[in-house]
Copies of this chain bind each other. A is one copy, B any other.
Amino acid sequence: METDSRSPIGIFDSGVGGLTVYRALHDRLPNERFIYLGDTARVPYGTKSLATVERYAIENSQFLASRGIKMLVVACNTASALALPKIREKIGIDVVGVIGPGGRKAVDLTRGRDPAKIGVIATEATISSNAYVEAIRRASNSAEVFQSACPLFVPLAEEGWTDEPETRSIAARYLAGIKEFSPDALVLGCTHYPILRDVIQQTVGEGVMLVDSGEATADEVARILSDRGLADLDARPGRRALCDDLDHFYVTDAAERFARVAERFLGTQPSKLEAIELTGRRLTLLGQVT
């Protein structure tokens, strides 16, 4: 499909977590329009195998490509860790994952420290993939990396427990190893974790720089759009609201639950939200929430 600078940017995630990446992109690129796909029928990806994650990621990417996007952001850490090469093989536009930008940003922020000490927290799948460690290694030979899985952070974020004493206590337990390592920077390597940013910051201490992979990704997307002459330069009147009707949201199931968690994550709900069925490239409209 023909695309140009006026075309939207595609974002997919396994579910609702990628909304933090959408917010970062929206804040960084107020002129752009977005199409977001949350694969809520098959969430979570973090406990699934390489072959399955690749297949799902390609189906999501092909769907978004068929909607005429000028660029694809893979907001899901698991899919970014496992499926970027296959996605790039299948679709002919720029593809940006969240892991490379997150890792590079951590290295940039800690330049001059010798050795730089970088912590990474993420889901079990992302940690086992070693994808952040490799991304950091590609940007720095000398950085020391320590990583830790925090499986309960995702359900705590979806439950909206951002300031409960149990959340603080669980954070203290999960982050004990990280604190002992005493990193200069800590990568929030899961799209849900920015929702718990305050608790995480207070637990590891104010001296640790938190790296939001979504924000790092937004910076990288802005740079690529500008390099390629693909930035949308037609200024829109005023600052656009999150989730206004220029952005289009699709989910593969359970749209009401997505809208509810979106409210928790963004303080607002998508104006345009549709439930679709992805079977190969076929698109079936299951329902619409407005």
Nearest CB of B to A19, in Å: 15
Q: Are B166 and A254 in contact (CB under 8 A)?
A: no
A170, B159: Cα distance in complex, Å: 12
A42, B40: Cα distance in complex, Å: 10
- Chain A positions 150-198 with a Cβ under 8 Å from a chain B Cβ: 151-152, 154-156, 158-159, 164-166, 169-170, 173
Q: Are B47 and A43 in contact (CB under 8 A)?
A: yes
Besides A40-B48, A152-B159, A154-B155, 13 more A-B contacts (Cβ < 8 Å) are: A41-B48, A47-B253, A47-B254, A47-B257, A48-B254, A49-B286, A51-B286, A52-B253, A52-B254, A151-B155, A152-B152, A164-B173, A166-B170
**Which of chain B's residues have a CB closer than 8 A to the CB of A156?**
152
Per the CB 8 Å criterion, the residue count for chain A at the interface is 27
Q: Which of the listed residues A151, A164, A166 has the most CB atoms from chain B within 10 Å of its own CB?
A: A166
Q: Are B42 and A47 in contact (CB under 8 A)?
A: no
- Chain A positions 244-278 with a Cβ under 8 Å from a chain B Cβ: 253-254, 257, 275
Please tell me how many copies of the chain the complex holds. Answer: 2
Nearest CB of B to A176, in Å: 13
Q: Mark A32-50, 1 if CB is under 8 A from B, else 0.
A: 0000000011110001110
Q: Mark A110-154, 1 if CB is under 8 A from B, else 0.
A: 000000000000000000000000000000000000000001101
A contact set with B: CB distance below 8 Å: 40-43, 47-49, 51-52, 151-152, 154-156, 158-159, 164-166, 169-170, 173, 253-254, 257, 275, 286
A73, B48: Cα distance in complex, Å: 25
A48, B252: Cα distance in complex, Å: 9
Nearest CB of B to A150, in Å: 10
Q: Are A253 and B166 in contact (CB under 8 A)?
A: no
Nearest CB of B to A89, in Å: 22
**Which of chain B's residues have a CB closer than 8 A to the CB of A169?**
165-166, 169
A257, B49: Cα distance in complex, Å: 10
**Which of chain B's residues have a CB closer than 8 A to the CB of A158?**
151
A140, B154: Cα distance in complex, Å: 39
Looking across the interface, which residue of chain B has its beta carbon closest to that of A43? B47
22 sampled A-B residue pairs with Cβ under 8 A: A41-B48, A41-B52, A42-B42, A43-B47, A47-B253, A47-B254, A47-B257, A48-B254, A49-B275, A49-B286, A51-B286, A52-B253, A52-B254, A151-B158, A151-B159, A152-B155, A152-B159, A155-B155, A166-B166, A166-B169, A166-B170, A166-B173
